[in-house]
């Protein structure tokens, strides 16, 4: 087989590059409460734009309907990441917020059918790291307990909508922590 250009070479950030943080809203914006991740990410982006002090070229905000390998590929080149997504624990009240890490999620990659067509984010990250891809050293997750994620709708449930401001604050708090940890000052 002919050899393509190395993924490793293309993804390692240049020396001296400022640490980069990616905030990702995950979910499906037309699937009811599954769209909460996007809504929070969009609100976070607005808050960052409005707050002059927090303008920071190292912070990017994106919205994706992705998981597994595809999500891992989007994280390449970032030093830290915040994922925002709907979760269904089955025990929390709709709109409950969760401050999670990847370790809090079951790593389902050891089984089959862990994803319909993909692998788990944890496995994808291990794969990427084994290849030397530059992936975030820290990934934090802000989860919002969702109620209706099987009905097509662009409207969130009232409880989920009500949780939006608090979710935005939680993301900004997490962002502040990450920025502090990467020795940058930021006031939110």
Partner 1 sequence: MTRITIDPITRLEGHGKIEIFLDEEGDVENTYFQIPELRGFERFCVGRPVEEMPLLTNRICGVCPEAHHMAAAKAGDAVYGVDPPSAAKKLRELLYMGFFFTDHTTHFYALGGPDFVMGPDAPVAERNILGVIHKVGLEIAGQVLQARKYGHTVVEMLGGRKVHPCTSIPGGVTKGLTEEEREKIEGMGEWAVGFAQFSLDLFGDIVLGNQEYVDLILGDIYSDRTHYIGLVDENNKVNFYDGKVSVVDPDGKRLGKYAPDEYTDWIAEHVEPWTYLKFPYLKKVGWKGFVDGNDSGVYMATPLSRLNAADGMATPLAQAAYEKFYETLGGKPVHQRLAIHWARLIELLYSAERWMELVTDPEITSPNIHTVPTKVPTEGVGIVEAPRGTLTHHYWTDERGILTKVNLVVGTTNNYAPITMSIKKAASSLINKGTVVTEPILNMVEMAFRAYDPCFGCATHSLPGQMPLEVTIRDVDGEIVNVLRQFC
Question: Between 59 and 146, whose beta carbon lies closer to partner 1?
Answer: 146
**What string of DSSP letters covers 86-121?**
EE--SSSPTT-EEEEEGGGS--GGGSSSSSSSS--H
Q: Which residue in 24, 25, 27, 75 binds partner 1 (CB under 8 A)?
A: 27
Q: Does 86 bind partner 1 (CB under 8 A)?
A: yes
Q: Does 101 bind partner 1 (CB under 8 A)?
A: no
- Type and span of the H or E element at 175: helix 164-181
Q: Which residue in 16, 52, 103, 111 binds partner 1 (CB under 8 A)?
A: 111
Shortest spacing between CB 52 and partner 1, in angstroms: 29
Residue 13 CB: number of other CB atoms within 10 A? Answer: 14
Q: Does 56 bind partner 1 (CB under 8 A)?
A: no
Site stretch for partner 1 (CB under 8 A), options 13-21, 48-56, 83-91, 171-179: 83-91
Rounded (10°) CA dihedral 182, 183, 187, 188: 10
Site stretch for partner 1 (CB under 8 A), options 12-20, 46-54, 78-86, 166-174: 78-86
Of 26, 49, 23, the closest CA to residue 37 belongs to 26
Of 99, 61, 63, 64, the closest CA to residue 78 belongs to 61
Residue 150 CB: number of other CB atoms within 10 A? Answer: 8
Interactions with partner 1, residue window 117-176 (CB under 8 A): 117-121, 123, 126-128, 130-131, 133, 141, 143, 146, 149-153
Shortest spacing between CB 83 and partner 1, in angstroms: 8
Longest dimension (CA), the chain: 55
Give the SS3 label for residue 10: helix
Catalog residues that contact partner 1 under the rule CB under 8 A: 1-2, 4-8, 26-31, 34, 64-70, 73, 83, 85-90, 105-121, 123, 126-128, 130-131, 133, 141, 143, 146, 149-153
């Amino acid at each position: 087989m002919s050899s393509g250009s190395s993924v490793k070479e293309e993804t390692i950030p240049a020396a001296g590059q400022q640490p980069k943080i990616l905030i990702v809203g995950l979910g499906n914006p037309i699937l009811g409460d599954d769209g909460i991740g996007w809504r929070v990410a969009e609100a976070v982006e607005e808050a960052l734009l409005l707050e002059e002090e927090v303008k920071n070229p190292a912070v990017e905000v994106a919205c994706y309907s992705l998981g597994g390998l595809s999500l891992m590929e989007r994280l390449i080149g970032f030093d830290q990441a915040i994922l925002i997504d709907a979760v269904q624990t089955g025990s929390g009240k709709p709109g409950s917020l969760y401050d999670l890490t990847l370790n809090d999620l079951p790593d389902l990659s050891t089984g089959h059918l862990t994803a319909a067509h993909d692998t788990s984010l944890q496995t994808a990250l291990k794969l990427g790291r084994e290849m030397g891809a530059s992936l975030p050293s820290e990934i934090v997750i802000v989860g919002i307990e969702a109620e209706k994620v099987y009905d097509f709708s662009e409207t969130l449930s009232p409880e989920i909508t009500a949780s939006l401001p608090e979710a935005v604050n939680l993301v900004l708090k997490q962002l502040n922590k990450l920025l502090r940890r990467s020795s940058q000052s930021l006031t939110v």
